Amino acid sequence: MPQSTAPHPTFHYHPFYCEENAWWLCAEPALGPGPRQVLFISGLAGHCPFLQQRAVDPGKVLWWDYHCVVLDGSGRIWDLDSRLPLPTLGLDWLDQTFPFGDELPTRWRPRFRLVPAADFRRHFASDRRHMRNSDGDWTQPPPPWPAIGEGWNLDVYRDIGDTSGPGELLDIESLRSRLRGDQS
């Protein structure tokens, strides 16, 4: 059965609100020193497949429309929705979450928007409209904390096809290279 509880009892966590979880996580002392970055993940088709996600049974693939995690200054990924250890070395997380990344049609391959955590914490805003259906009802219950920021700009982060958005866009090989520390 899928897990829905927080992977760490002191972190702000609410299922299906990964961008808000990441916003809070960016300020956590547990992430250690060094620059932190937020990774928004999707595919050009508007979704891509993930393994190791707690929202589905073990071994099942989950097709997220987008997902959001934090990369710490030591090259570790903090994915509060993953079955992998928290944190996981970035390359290990990448290889275990997207083992089929290079075999997929281009439109389904994971792509990444890498945004400095300080910028994300300063500019992100979500009134949670993306979690309401056409009748105004919640598709998933909201977190117990107030919405973050004023208004709405989640789309500029999760649109991995828009080069004018914040941060830097990377394909899976570019992110793998970055995590290895290759010089470009």
Is 18 labeled as catalytic in the residue annotation? yes
Is 79 labeled as catalytic in the residue annotation? yes
Is 72 labeled as catalytic in the residue annotation? no
Q: Which residues on adjacent β-strands are paired with residue 115?
A: 38
Instruction: Write down the catalytic residue from 12, 26, 72, 79.
Output: 79
Q: Which residues on adjacent β-strands are paired with residue 38?
A: 70, 115
Q: How far apart are CA 50 and CA 63, in angstroms?
A: 6
Instruction: Write down the catalytic residue from 67, 68, 72, 81.
Output: 67
**Two structure tokens written together for 162:** 């828009």
What one-character-per-residue DSSP string does 81-119 give? TBSS-SSEEHHHHHHHH-TTTTTS-GGGS-EEEEEEHHH
Annotated catalytic residues are 18, 67, 79
